[in-house]
């Protein structure tokens, strides 16, 4: 299996944003349950950070689909690595809604990751794991 993490800039309508997010998360969860992809999504108010994990084929196929999704742009893949055990087992998609604090971490991660700094990416992953631990599986 693999884990893949990316960040992107949200292009959601200001009007009806919460509804658009709820719909996005609901259909993503249903699709991920079918393809046995698990992971976490953070929305900061302006950006998304998403970690996807599962067999390489379904994760890569989903990442291809995500590139063409008009609900976000400026997609930057931060890292991809092999895993033996899922970090988000039981979560078809853990979701954390508008978090300005995380936005700061993502900005920093983007700046440093483009220079190949993996500790920053690791920090972002830990943050996703921590908020997920505080919740019940979806």
Binding footprint of ligand FMN on the chain (CB under 6 A): 24, 28, 31-32, 41, 48, 50, 62, 65-66, 69, 71-72, 93
* Residue found under tokens 């349950």: 33
Quote the tokens at residue 130.
């921590």
- The C-alpha atoms of residue 65 and residue 116 are separated, in whole angstroms, by 25
Residue 96 forms beta bridges with which residues?
A: 42
- Shorter beta-carbon distance to ligand FMN: residue 66 or 76: 66
Shortest distance, CB of residue 132 to ligand FMN, whole angstroms? Answer: 14
Task: Assess contact for 6 and 80: CB atoms under 8 A.
Answer: no
Rounded least distance, CB 25 to ligand FMN, Å: 8
Tracing tokens 């954390």 back to the chain, one arrives at 96
Question: What is the H or E stretch that residue 107 is in?
Answer: helix 100-113
Residue in 98, 32, 84 with CA at minimum distance from that of residue 63: 32
Minimal distance, residue 12 CB to ligand FMN, in Å: 8
In terms of CB distance, is 63 or 117 closer to ligand FMN? 63
CB of 137 to ligand FMN, least distance (A): 15
């Amino acid at each position: 299996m693999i884990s893949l993490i990316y960040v992107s800039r949200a292009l959601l309508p200001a009007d009806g944003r919460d509804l658009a997010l709820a719909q996005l998360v609901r259909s993503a969860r249903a699709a991920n349950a079918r393809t046995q992809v698990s992971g976490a999504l953070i929305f900061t108010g302006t950006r998304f950070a998403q970690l996807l994990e599962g067999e390489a084929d379904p994760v890569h196929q989903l990442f291809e689909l995500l590139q063409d999704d008009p609900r976000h742009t400026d997609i930057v893949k931060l890292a991809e690595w092999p895993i033996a055990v899922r970090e988000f087992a039981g979560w078809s998609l853990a979701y954390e809604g508008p978090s300005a604090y995380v936005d700061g971490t993502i900005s920093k991660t983007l700046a440093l990751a483009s220079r190949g700094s993996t500790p920053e990416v690791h920090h972002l992953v830990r943050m996703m794991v921590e908020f997920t631990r505080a919740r019940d599986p979806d």
